[in-house]
Structure 1
């Protein structure tokens, strides 16, 4: 684990603060993951929020010249506070981060335990089970995926999704469950109907959690479903089918991991060649048969109805343009562009953006930015939203046409399920 958090100390510039409040009848805990903030500052953040609450007001956010602070209460049990640089994005994205932090703690710790903290020191020790997942959610600058901002699980498209779906359905049925998915390179390739019926938050957190776990042949992990079952735990069973490929099942007390080991071999041995072909789409994450414009450096495609997100910043493989715009920089640009557009110009299922910007009398369908080293274009065509990063060489007038053609290329083949 990279960091260790204390009640008055944190890392990464974003925070989650904890302390008892004698002024409330209920245990009002505040947790903080702040970057070397002195205790008086932490106390002030607590105090100003409590002062507002005691006078019938809700303090949601504030900004300084270079920073933003957002407060969020959960079940009158925990208050989460996030502090970050002011990127001019809508507050909905920081609220979504705090919602994910809370849900992550529910998933690995249980809602009852979070709402009934009787011993603060013990809670500080026990909550460490969540730190790895919380680290990942907070360290947005190093993330290679987009699910934490889009609230849609990262997927990849394989050459034969249909065959993989049949193998998965048969295995999950043999496991006595209806909830299962197959991940390739840390992204969901196929999943059962019941798995897709989980809430967007549950899909995202499971999609983030599984690749974070220590690599091993099998796992048996107790989890809670933040929306579906926040107080009764289930079991998350994972099995490594081959390098970079895992099959995951959510079930009850049975079957045991040992019981399913032989089933893994029996059901997935015939699928080896199909799985190898699926792994070959990394790091493009789409089949080579799907041709995209040479001016595209990266894209982010979100289906707001199915909570699925397809993205890539290595569209043409090693195309020699990495020196101009590196792959990490491409991800950073796309993340920033998405956060600036959604909630400011376009709506989404993310809380606070459902109806679009209040100051607009119309619904925006397109927007773009032109910078010195790149250009970005966003297209809204419900249920899809497509965000594309282009080279600076592309004519600005051509971006709209190419973006529409790109969306059509992804959605015309119904087997892609995006």
Structure 2
């Protein structure tokens, strides 16, 4: 893409005709901002599309069932994918902080994810049963480690290469662009235009591999100024020191509490699928409405929430939390009124819930990036993600609550958590304010 095309695309997405409105980044990075911004958008779009094709809640679950893997292995996919990507971060952060340029860490993590996707595709195409299931679970665990490296390094690189006023826009635009591809995949599968066979999913995972490798290559071309390498010592010692940040920064404690209370926006979708009477063991085609609803929410929500987060990530967290609470209350009402058989109602609620999740995801990322300075971003990110990873493992016990007391109780608990998070978020600072610049 030519410099002129890059400049036009940047101006269109950010409403910055000059392409030089820079806040808290070096002058050399400011001059490169349009190109860096678009490289972030392209690389993130590719990885997010890969995420959609590698989705453990739908695609990998169907695949495990299709190859005859045991149910207990299938049930391990989502916890490994979510918590496994967060828990290692106190230790991966130490290595990343020893690197003057952290774009290389992100590229390595992206490549690992791509190779794991290829491994899952090869396993599914050539093997069956418990052995294949164990290999796929192991690959998902390795995938999660690669993702943890990307999670820690990306916020740090983003904070060094893209201005404060456009970071949420970059990630939000990428999310919307990738969602279009996921939507097309869901429509083709749901309508039967693509045969629902193991080889079809294997090819989709091969495409995901190519997307992650492409993203890694693009990311290495970012102009990233060398940064501080402090904090790159012993992993366990660094982890202990980072936990001390909780006592030193009350805003960090409050942010982590708000983020933790908002995890139901990510955890609740399977419960809506349960209400619909569509078990995870049924075909992916039966879940077509849900795939489409989720993708549409990402398309509509990504860019809009990203722009709102750039203005006030605090207010975005408040709004997204309230939206999640209301949606989960509505879902509980559907269960109480025995209306779950409606073919459109629950997918519609899933659309709103995922819309709220998009707001939570983008606002928490933007808020954490903007509340920290360039020397503490990696530490804050790793600490926050590790605590949330532990919480995600703890909330896996809610499946037993649902079995004993019913899905209605779980939905009410989730709604209360989101409502409390929305209230607590009023205590967060407006980190996008001019006097809050690094």
With the length of structure 2 as denominator, give the TM-score of the two structures. 0.30
Rg bigger for which structure?
A: 1
Structure having the higher helix fraction is 2
Structure having the higher strand fraction is 1
With the length of structure 1 as denominator, give the TM-score of the two structures. 0.31
